[in-house]
Amino acid sequence: MALNYLNLVGNAELVKQLNYAMIYRLIIQQSPISRIQLAETSHLAPASITKITRQLLKNKLIKEVDVQQSTGGRPAVSIEAKFDHYHAIAIQLSRAHVTIELYDLGGHSLAFKRYPLTDFTQRLAQNYVINLIELFCQENNKKIKNLIAISVVMPGVVDSVKGIVRYTPHISVNNWALADVLKEKFHVDAFVGNDVQSLALAESYFGSTQNVEDSILIRVHRGVGSGVIINQQLLMNHNQSACEVGHIQVNPLGERCHCGNFGCLENQVVNVEIEKKAKLLLEQGYPSKLTIDKCDINTICQFANQGDELAEKLIKNAGENLGRAVAIMVNIFNPQCIILAGEITKSPEILLNAVNSALYSQSLKQLRENLSISCSTLSDSSAIGAFALVQQALFNGSLLMTMLDDK
């Protein structure tokens, strides 16, 4: 009987968490919205809506607003989200920099700072990040009202459920329990995650896939990463990873990849490979405005947009290879939307035309008929991906219930 009772209590708490999360998310996505509309949309009883909204109002997560009726008369009272009472710190831990950003709950950036990353062991990197957070908080103490979470994203294999970094290419780690360390140090909820998967979430919450159920984000930078959103949820497996798109073979005659395969997508489209091909062709006498000393990816994109033949050739070739991988993803997942991110998207027209050309020749017609492919609308230099983990915890109710329980 005791076990059954505990199960009932546990189920009741889970139902409560999910109901609060559903109502909070509806308010954010459909505000201003009335209590009657919330009841109709959520299928919860009006009494439950009243109880939930009362708690959210009390904790300053939502606010009441007057919405004038179209027929005149007294304004109807509706509800919308209140974003400015709580804040979160989001951190992007890239190979060369630590980007720290302060966000309100609406995903609005309130402060931004970038620091060089020079410590590449777990202990030193951890101490450095903690010191930077403390410094950032001191510099922005007047902007931070109620800090509720700290979130960190980085490349590699990250167990976001347990808050452990299993592997990251630029820091030597051994099951780095970073979330627990930050939670104990700063006494707030802490989250860690993979940078590209988190960016896919951010695109779903704040970018061009907000109203899309199924989408895939592919980011090209030093490597190629992807995040798959199914039914507005990030696709994850037992290892907290999924869809290693960078190691899809797109050229069987290509060079050997560090993974052991030949002609992986990563070897064909990452920034350094495009730059290396540019230098090789320039050395062979290929005419171009590009020079050996100035053929970085940003310059290549700039000249491609201006009609430089070599620059166009490089972006087109990368786009065709990217399109072959996109075609495989489309055949497997049949998403509504593909989002491309990274410096290569600074030449969007040439890139997208090349991607679509390969996609149309290598994917099922029925699966691409309603598919849209576009470039990310989010800032590539921000820490919005890290903040998306905070938003996810609010939307699934785990962080939301912690905030309510603390009051």
Please tell me the distance from the alpha carbon of residue 318 to that of residue 323, in angstroms, as a whole number: 8
The predicted pLDDT at position 223 comes to 87
**208-375 classified as CATH 3.30.460.10:** no
Q: How confident is the model at residue 406 (pLDDT cuts 50, 70, 90)?
A: low
Q: Exposed, middle or buried: residue 41 (CB in 10 Å: 0-12, 13-18, 19+)? A: middle
CATH architecture, range 2-81: Orthogonal Bundle (1.10)
Q: Exposed, middle or buried: residue 400 (CB in 10 Å: 0-12, 13-18, 19+)? A: buried
**Residue 315 near residue 349 (C-beta atoms within 8 A):** no
The predicted pLDDT at position 2 comes to 46
Q: What value does the mean pLDDT take over residues 393-406? A: 90
The predicted pLDDT at position 3 comes to 47
The predicted pLDDT at position 105 comes to 96
Angle CA(280)–CA(282)–CA(285) in degrees, nearest 5?
115
pLDDT digits (tens, 9 = 90+) for 228-268: 999 999 988 766 566 678 788 888 877 888 777 888 888 88
pLDDT digits (tens, 9 = 90+) for 258-269: 777 888 888 888
Q: What is the pTM of this model?
A: 0.90
Could you tell me which CATH number the domain at 87-195+383-405 has? 3.30.420.40
pLDDT digits (tens, 9 = 90+) for 34-76: 999 999 999 999 999 999 999 999 999 999 997 655 555 566 7
The predicted pLDDT at position 11 comes to 83
Please tell me the distance from the alpha carbon of residue 319 to that of residue 358, in angstroms, as a whole number: 8
Domain ranges of the chain: 2-81, 87-195+383-405, 208-375
Cα distances (angstroms) measured from residue 381 to each of 101, 144, 388: 11, 22, 15
Domains 87-195+383-405 and 208-375 share a fold: yes
> CB-based contacts of 129: which residues, under 8 Å, 6+ apart?
91, 93, 98, 152
The predicted pLDDT at position 273 comes to 92
pLDDT digits (tens, 9 = 90+) for 150-206: 999 999 889 999 999 999 988 999 999 999 999 999 999 999 999 999 999 999 999
DSSP E strand stretches across 36-155: 62-67, 76-81, 87-93, 97-104, 109-116, 147-154
- Please name the residue that has the structure tokens 């990849």: 257
Amino acid at 136: F
Please tell me the distance from the alpha carbon of residue 93 to that of residue 85, in angstroms, as a whole number: 27
Please tell me the distance from the alpha carbon of residue 263 to that of residue 289, in angstroms, as a whole number: 29
Angle CA(87)–CA(216)–CA(159) in degrees, nearest 5?
55
Proportion of the chain above pLDDT 70, given as a percent: 93
Terminal C-alpha separation, the chain: 32
